[in-house]
Amino acid sequence: MTQERIRAYEKIREALTEAPLLLMPDCNIPYKLYIDACGDGLGEALHQVQIVDEKPVEGPVCYISRQIKPTEARWSAYVWYGHLKNYTIILMEVILK
């Protein structure tokens, strides 16, 4: 095994074992919504910038994803993104209030 392969293995192992932690939502801090849609699925991540160990850290508060339904597969990207925003607001209503 070469040093390059060992480093690659260590990098993959670290990425798989050190997943990002979810932050507790703070209603007094603005949220950032990241959305993405492709031919197979929809995904959203709700983030906040919070102070962790005396440093501002942007981290996830919640993740949502699902497969695209057959009828939605014909939608344009603009319709998907609009649908994603509404879908997210409905599902995260408790957090966002």
The backbone region for 72, taken as left when phi is positive above 0, alpha when psi lies in -120 to 50, beta otherwise, is: alpha
Residues 6+ apart with CB under 8 A from 80: 37, 42, 68, 72
> What secondary structure letter does DSSP report for 11?
H
- 22-66, pLDDT tens digit by residue? 888 888 999 998 988 887 888 888 899 998 889 998 988 888 888
Euclidean distance between CA atoms 45 and 19, whole angstroms: 14
CATH topology for the 20-96 domain: Ubiquitin-like (UB roll) (3.10.20)
| Res 56: pLDDT | 93
Q: Name the more confident of 14 and 1.
A: 14
**Residue 30: predicted pLDDT:** 93
pLDDT tens-digit profile of 70-95? 888 888 888 888 888 888 888 877 76
Q: DSSP class of residue 54?
A: T
Model pLDDT, residue 79? 87
